[in-house]
Structure 1
Amino acid sequence: MNFSEFAAAGVGVLADFSRDTALAAGLSTTRMRDLARVHHAYYGPTRFTRQQRDALALAEGMPIDQLIHIEKKLTRVATAADRWRIRLDLVRHRGSFRGLTKRADRLIDLPTPAPTPACRFSRSRDGMRTMTWTYTERELADLEHLLRTGIDPNTPAAAQLADALAALLRDGETVPKAAFRPIVIVPIADWMRIHAGTGDEVELTCTDGTTMTGAQYLHHQFGDVLDVAAFHPHHGAVNLYRGQRFANTKQKTMSKLLCPGCAFPDCKTSAETTQTHHITAWAHGGMTNMDNLAELCPFHNGVNADDRSGRFGYIDNPNGRITWIAPNGTDIPMTTPGAMELLFD
């Protein structure tokens, strides 16, 4: 069995599963329990025999790790009938692990506790310790803005940010409020709700990685001039400029509206610190037009496969939606929705 076959091994490999055989083969008890849970769902006794038969057929070809993930998610569902209903939906999924997680979380509607302010420190290791700080997004956005001032974009940012923070703490300087210049993406339906007085709880996305409510939007001072950008539901942002290697200021602004953060999935870099990327590389004839631009962090801009082959995948924009194409060809949408998703999806 080669690696591709191993990664794609589905529920059929568990037909004759045995706990004793699994343990004798050297599997961990955790792995054994995960496999036993899947085996029980698809091959164990149940009064939902028709659903089990249908699920077994649908699960054919689904990677075993995704089946394990489904069963772990289903442990939070109270009734067997609901578990089978959700299971039958989830085994139809074909795509990424992250996509499966998002689909499961939509179906299993459990309240997620809001994060609270916290500061934690790890134990020392080789003379180093780790601090994790959870605080209001606006305060931390101000801090990140200050720390990124003056760092070298050609070298890894993490160590430079750590040194800048240490220097700030040693000097006892206060963190100035950053000028609030990120772009706020406001779908027209939400804009109408906000200005009608019924949109206080609307959550708007900003290109610096933060969010604001409809109430905060109304109270914020944006100045006397408000820039407005229009987007077509299928073709994306309006084509503003063509014919030069580097995007102009307006194009960069609209590209940030399309990508409020780096377009690679799960990258946490906000659009305020990304680079404007040519989807079809300039060297390959790609124009500097809005339908060929996306926002990527320096790392992902460097590893993006311009020739559309390689282990990091590449960025595309089918139907005007910025999307990462995995090496196996799977389409993965952006982690943070941009203007096209907020306006038209």
Structure 2
Amino acid sequence: MPMTLLHTYLQAHAQGIALVEAASQLEEKDLTALGADPTTTKNLLALAKIYFGDTSFSQYQTQCIGTSHNLTTLLAIERYVSRIKTTRNQWVLRVKLCQTPEQHIAHVAKQYMPSTTPKEGIRIRRRDNGAPMTVSLTGASTILSDFVSALDADQPIASLNALLSGNAVRPQTQTHIIIPLDKLDKVTQGDNDVIVHTSHGATMTGAEFVQRTLEDEGFATLVSPVQGAINLYRTRRFASTKQRIMLQAQSHSCAWPGCRKPIDKCQPHHIVAWKYGGNTNIDNLVPLCPYHNGINDDYAAAHNSISTRRGWVTKYKGKPTWSPPQTITRN
């Protein structure tokens, strides 16, 4: 392939640290003389100070210099790092992100970001010429969850009118009590029920345990710290949506990392897909929203292989966990 201007630019851009090191030998006027615009000059000098300037965290700095990230990714890393308060913690995150594949940086960085509690309030955006306006509400989940549940996703404005006129029915909440088995000596799975062996020597079925413990309390789920959800009971009768309700005991939202879609908007997802022989058992089900259910790499999950797409959700010790995709380098 003949060398072109674009080829030269892309090759240089890909060598992020090499560009930064070269910039560390120059001043602002030198970069300007070479044709750099003010923004590029500012970015290069800022990176040069971080990666090649004086610091008391030289060991961290040395680890970062070994990164293969391009210039754009180095700048993205600094946007995440700037949100961390202490200098030491900034270097810890910088090292972590420099060693993280570019496609996973956002996910990894999010785990280090300080948690913030949004302020309650309302934001209104009005538009000219009678165009639709936008209203954004921030408030207690106990209040807004009822509000959202009363809206019809297919007819949002009509359902809002019904709500404002007082014709909407307030959503009913159902008590769902989770019974941890930490203090019980042994839990075994019988043919039709869970067998509970208590610490004082008694043996009873899970249904008997729930009957004794939670008379008329609604739904109850027995949960083992190791095995996860085991079985679901209702003191008067079994629920027809048994497995869906059991999933609520494991997660209150979509199991995909960073997704906050509530559990009642999710679908029971087969970890090992049905078409690959997966069973519709609770240990093979996790709640995923329709979008993440669609992008989950079912083939990799079923064959326990490397995913090159979007990764896949599995379970570890009864809890949903995400297996990220990996980049395969072909020579």
Question: TM class, shorter-chain normalised?
Answer: 0.5 to 0.7
Letter in 2 for 1:314: W
TM-score of the superposition, structure 1-length normalised?
0.61
1:113-134 deviation per Cα after TM superposition (whole angstroms, max 9, x unaligned): x333311112427822221111
Corresponding residue SS for 1:37? helix
- Asked whether 1:293 is paired with 2:296, we answer no
Letter in 1 for 2:278: G
Any conservation in 1 of the 2:297–2:310 contact (CA below 8 Å)? Answer: yes
164, 172, 178: which one pairs with 2:159?
164
Q: Superposition pairs for residues 194-213 of structure 1, below 5 Å? A: none
Percent identity reads 30
Larger Rg: 2
- Asked whether 1:52 is paired with 2:57, we answer no
Instruction: Report what 1:43 is aligned to.
Output: 52
Q: Specify whether residues 274 and 32 from structure 1 end up closer, same or farther in structure 2 by C-alpha distance, changes over 3 A only.
A: farther
Letter in 2 for 1:72: R
Instruction: Give the distance between the partners of 1:163 and 1:265, measured in 2 at CA.
Output: 33
Instruction: Give the distance between the partners of 1:73 and 1:179, measured in 2 at CA.
Output: 41
Q: Specify whether residues 103 and 37 from structure 1 end up closer, same or farther in structure 2 by C-alpha distance, changes over 3 A only.
A: farther
Instruction: Report what 2:148 is aligned to.
Output: 144
148, 166, 186: which one pairs with 1:173?
166
Going by fraction, where is strand more abundant, 1 or 2?
2
227, 230, 251: which one pairs with 2:243?
251
Report deviation, 1:140.
1.1
Q: Specify whether residues 131 and 300 from structure 1 end up closer, same or farther in structure 2 by C-alpha distance, changes over 3 A only.
A: same
Instruction: Give the distance between the partners of 1:313 and 1:7, measured in 2 at CA.
Output: 28
Instruction: Report what 1:100 is aligned to.
Output: 108
- Asked whether 1:306 is paired with 2:298, we answer yes
Instruction: Report what 2:315 is aligned to.
Output: 317
TM-score of the superposition, structure 2-length normalised?
0.63
Report deviation, 1:321.
3.3
Q: What is the number of residues matched between the two proteins? A: 270
Two-structure CA RMSD over aligned residues (Å)? 4.3
Provide structure 1 residue ranges, at least 5 long, that are not aligned to the other structure. 149-156, 190-221, 241-246, 331-345
Instruction: Report what 2:127 is aligned to.
Output: 124
Instruction: Report what 2:256 is aligned to.
Output: 264
Q: Specify whether residues 100 and 311 from structure 1 end up closer, same or farther in structure 2 by C-alpha distance, changes over 3 A only.
A: closer
Instruction: Give the distance between the partners of 2:316 and 2:111, measured in 1 at CA.
Output: 21
Report deviation, 1:287.
0.6
Corresponding residue SS for 2:174? coil
Provide structure 2 residue ranges, at least 5 long, that are not aligned to the other structure. 1-6, 183-214, 233-238, 301-306
Any conservation in 2 of the 1:182–1:272 contact (CA below 8 Å)? Answer: no
Corresponding residue SS for 1:121? strand
Any conservation in 2 of the 1:11–1:64 contact (CA below 8 Å)? Answer: yes
